[in-house]
Chains A and B, each alone.
Chain A
């Protein structure tokens, strides 16, 4: 969709081989990680609701590739991909889902609530749309920091949401605030066509012109093919730069597809097998791998196999790690981290305490 002009080479084509190879690595890491996650869920090692990112890898990896290290990122509950793309240790991510102490939230958050302070990932949010006012607030804080406190530099926040969240009031309030206050936040709709079993056409008006909705809030919007990471980079990088420079919001209708069910318990009666197979024909990972092997010629069949093997080992290690890790102790973790400054008599049922140190800090 985002076409490079004929006389100018695209941005991604000017990037070194090693950058694109790293993208391939990051996307494959997410895919392998999610395969293992689904397995562990089926073995009842992971509980609760668990949403698999497979198929959407180019969205997180491609957009995060356009950021500076300190730019804030916030997302919904389908968040393992963003966590890994932002640099979270797979062990911490897997251990969180296993409900273990070395998990990113010490086993207190779970699959839907991945937080990583050193990597500026402000969660994982389980309530559809709830992260969108937060996205505006992260942008507000960044701007306040350099404008009022005279610290830091211009940043841009990314706030991801699903197409289902388009219909939440919170998102409309957030867009209005972002537009009104010129907040440097980019709302990225990972438009996989469905919110659970409801296709976007059945839930959202103007489903094929979402950018017009953003325009209604004074926000510039673009459409991007989220199945091609090069397209994502080529179209998204200029938007990030613009929103950073001009300190204003953006909107992306990032068209993608999830290969798995909505969550781990979804019989998928609302779509055909053919539709899923068609999407897989355009698989972002296969495409990038073949681009690197054939067009760039910087990756051999053997290199790719070796990379896949390396990733398999890393992910397996994360599962083994999560399995072996200790669970949070009731004594130390149940009543801790409720308050930064616990006081006596805050609760009739117990005294609040400070828990063990977060493994990411």
Chain B
């Protein structure tokens, strides 16, 4: 345990020893992604009465996506709070509640709907500490579904990380699996700064072992999802799975072995892990579910060129979503998203490049 005191905090921030090894990822306590999220919130709510959950349908309805199922029963309606469809209003309420000494978790049914709360989440949450000359921070977690849900069309398929990561003052977390989701969300709730926690509707039913024992995953530490020496694949969130699939396919079909890095958080970005891998593979493909222009992929490529230019045998490659509004038709949507085939094709092409 380490304790940080800061004038903007009424209570010191005590955080676990992040250097401690994490419990095994393998085991037979298999639960869904949504349950992992629920466990993280419930454990932190039991630990700290200042933590509460607020959002649309989180209480009576048991969560629009059943993430908060049963939490109303356990914690009551003073701490699990249904809001009307007023993202700008309740996002702002959460921000001030955080300034007022509480630890809100604000659920967006989808990050697509956070756009109507952009002023609160981008102007107020991340800038309060700076604007107030370090008198008030904003210890809040905003969380919800991000990215294409499956034929939801242009307005409901937002990947906000490309837009929001441009703003200094927020930490941005994008887990790809239940184990990480739990450990990262627990860290997010403890963290004294605003955290945007981006989940995926398409992964909420994913199952994996999540250990019984408590654990916290540090921000800014990538996970090596697969090891290889020919090319570095960098991704975060749902596309990590496509990268692993593509890597297996490439290994089988072409004998190309890829390092797959799951970034877990994009601010902070574990550029050190990326650079280390690039020094080994000399080639990098970044897979990002945002549009390409000024995206996370652009940022990763830039940082790699700044930090490891001499180690590159070929120009970095980006695999993003197609640079168009998200289409509805199944075939169009599939072609729009970064997928296993597109990733494998990009790697094959890069492997031949000098």
- Give the contacting residue for A133; candidates B84, B88, B129, B193; CB below 8 A: B88
Q: Judging by beta carbons under 8 Å apart, are B123 and A122 in contact? A: no
Which listed segment binds B: A9-17, A21-29, A109-117, A239-247?
A: A109-117
Give bound CA distance, A115 to B135, whole Å: 8
Contact A173 to B86, CB < 8 A, known contacts A148-B78, A149-B49, A341-B13: yes
Asked if B39 is an interface residue, CB under 8 A from chain A, the answer is no
Interface residue? B268 (CB, 8 A): yes
Residue of B9, B49, B96, B269 with highest tally of chain A CB at under 10 A: B96
A176 touches B101 (CB 8 A): no
CA distance A72 to B136 in the complex (A): 13
A337 located at the interface, meaning its Cβ lies under 8 Å from any Cβ of chain B in the complex: yes
Is B144 positioned at the interface, with any CB of A under 8 Å from its CB?
A: no
Q: Which residues of B have CB within 8 Å of A134?
A: 92-93, 95-96, 99, 124
Q: Does B289 belong to the interface (CB within 8 Å)?
A: no
Determine if A324 is an interface residue (Cβ-Cβ < 8 Å).
Answer: no
Q: Judging by beta carbons under 8 Å apart, are A141 and B192 in contact?
A: no
For B78, the chain A residues whose CB sits under 8 A away are 144, 147-148
Q: Is A60's CB within 8 Å of the partner chain B? A: no
Task: Determine the distance from Cα of A103 to Cα of B135 in the docked complex, in whole angstroms.
Answer: 12
Given contacts A108-B130, A173-B86, A361-B7, contact A340 B139 (CB under 8 A): yes
Find out whether the CB atom of A144 lies under 8 angstroms from the CB atom of B169. no
Given known contacts A105-B133, A176-B84, A361-B135, is B96 in contact with A140 (CB within 8 Å)?
yes
Bound-complex Cα distance A263 to B81 (A)? 40
Identify the stretch in A277-285, A310-318, A344-352 within 8 Å (CB) of chain B at 4 or more residues.
A344-352
Interface residues of B in 37-69 (CB under 8 A from A): 49-50, 52
Q: Are A130 and B131 in contact (CB under 8 A)?
A: no
State whether the Cβ of B334 lies closer than 8 Å to any Cβ in chain A. Answer: no
A122-160 vs B: 1/0 string, CB under 8 Å?
Answer: 110101001011111110111011011100000000000
Q: A122-B96, A137-B96 are in contact. Are A345 and B131 (CB under 8 A)?
A: no
Specify which chain B residues have a CB less than 8 angstroms from the CB of A141 in the assembled complex. 96-97, 99-102
- Residues of A close to B98: CB separation below 8 A: 137
Q: A85-106 toward B: CB 8 Å interface, digit per residue (1/0)?
A: 0000000000000000001111
B220 lies within 8 A of A140 (CB): no
- CB-nearest residue of chain A to B132: A115
Contact A169 B96 (CB under 8 A): no
CA distance A21 to B302 in the complex (A): 64
Q: B99: which of A122, A127, A136 is its contact (CB, 8 Å)?
A: A122
Residues of the A chain whose Cβ atoms lie less than 8 Å from the Cβ of B155: none
How far is A339 from B129 in the complex, measured between Cα atoms in Å? 7
- Taking A341-B13, A343-B219 as contacts, is the C-beta distance between A355 and B96 under 8 angstroms? no
Residues of B within 8 A of A123 (CB): 128, 131-132
B134 at the interface (CB under 8 A from A): yes
Residues of A within 8 A of B13 (CB): 340-341
How many whole Å from A350's CB to the nearest CB in chain B? 10
Closest to A104 in B: B133
Contacting A at CB under 8 A, from B138-195, are 139, 168-169, 171, 191-193
- 1/0 contact string of B305-340 vs chain A (CB within 8 Å): 010000000000000000000000000000000000
A338 adjacent to chain B (CB < 8 Å): yes
In the complex formed, the residue of B with least CB distance to A356 is B134
Partner of B220 from A104, A136, A344 at Cβ < 8 Å: A344
Are A340 and B9 in contact, CB atoms less than 8 angstroms apart? yes
Find out whether the CB atom of B100 lies under 8 angstroms from the CB atom of A115.
Answer: no
A185 to chain B, nearest CB (A): 10
Contact of A137 (CB < 8 Å), options: B88, B92, B191, B220 = B92
Given that A134-B124, A177-B83 are contacting pairs, would A105 and B89 also be in contact in the complex, using a CB cutoff of 8 Å? Answer: no
Q: Name which of A108, A115, A134, A354 has the most chain B CB atoms within 10 A of its CB.
A: A134
| Structural contact, A340 and B93, CB atoms closer than 8 A | no
Q: Annotate B1-33 by CB proximity to A: 1 below 8 A, 0 otherwise.
A: 000101111000101000000000000000000
B257 located at the interface, meaning its Cβ lies under 8 Å from any Cβ of chain A in the complex: no
- Chain B residues near A133 (CB-CB < 8 A): 88-93, 95-96, 120
Q: Does A186 contact B (CB under 8 A)?
A: no
The reply to whether A337 and B129 contact each other, CB–CB distance below 8 Å, is yes
Question: Does the CB pair A137–B132 fall under 8 Å?
Answer: no
Q: How far is the CA of A110 from the CA of B98 in the complex (A)?
A: 23
Contact: B124 with A130, CB < 8 Å?
yes
Q: A357 contacts the other chain (Cβ, under 8 Å)?
A: yes
Q: Say yes or no: B95 contacts A109, CB within 8 Å.
A: no
Q: Which 8 A-B pairs have the closest CB atoms?
A: A133-B92, A137-B96, A141-B100, A173-B89, A105-B133, A137-B93, A115-B132, A134-B96
Sample of 9 A–B contacts (CB below 8 Å): A108-B133, A134-B93, A136-B93, A136-B96, A144-B52, A144-B102, A173-B88, A339-B171, A341-B15
Known: A337-B129, A341-B191. 19 other contacts (CB 8 A): A107-B133, A108-B131, A113-B131, A136-B93, A137-B92, A138-B97, A138-B99, A141-B99, A148-B79, A339-B171, A340-B4, A343-B171, A345-B269, A345-B271, A346-B268, A347-B168, A348-B271, A354-B6, A360-B135
